[in-house]
Amino acid sequence: MFLDYFSRLSANPLYEVDASDISRDANTEFYAVFKTTGEGAKELVELSSEDVFVLNGVDLDQDQVWFDVCDSEAANCRFGQSLPL
């Protein structure tokens, strides 16, 4: 997986996520990015069926950000604990 700074067009920077090296079942799985809330829970930021997508709504300098491959509800995830970005 590849994460690249894309642009600073808003309050939060944009990042390009390239997950093309992580396979998924195109019918049932999606790429998911979460961030940790102040209470320690994980909040869904992006759910994508594309292996390259733009991520907005996080700041890697301030947020704990996680990646996983999940179902369409982002509930059942492959990596369980998710992978830190």
pLDDT digits (tens, 9 = 90+) for 22-65: 999 999 999 999 998 888 888 999 999 999 998 887 878 788 99
Are residues 34 and 14 in contact, defined by beta-carbon separation less than 8 angstroms? no
CA 83 to chain CA centroid, nearest Å? 9
- When comparing pLDDT for 12 and 7, which is higher? 12
Are residues 47 and 32 in contact, defined by beta-carbon separation less than 8 angstroms? yes
The domain of 28 spans 2-84
- Non-local CB neighbours of 12 within 8 Å, separated by 6+ positions: 56, 57, 58, 59
Q: Please state whether the predicted TM-score (pTM) of the whole model is above 0.85.
A: no
Task: Find the CATH number of the domain harbouring 23.
Answer: 2.60.40
- Cβ neighbourhood burial of 14 (10 Å; 0-12, 13-18, 19+): middle
When pLDDT is cut at 50, 70 and 90, the band that residue 9 belongs to is low
Count of domains in the chain?
1
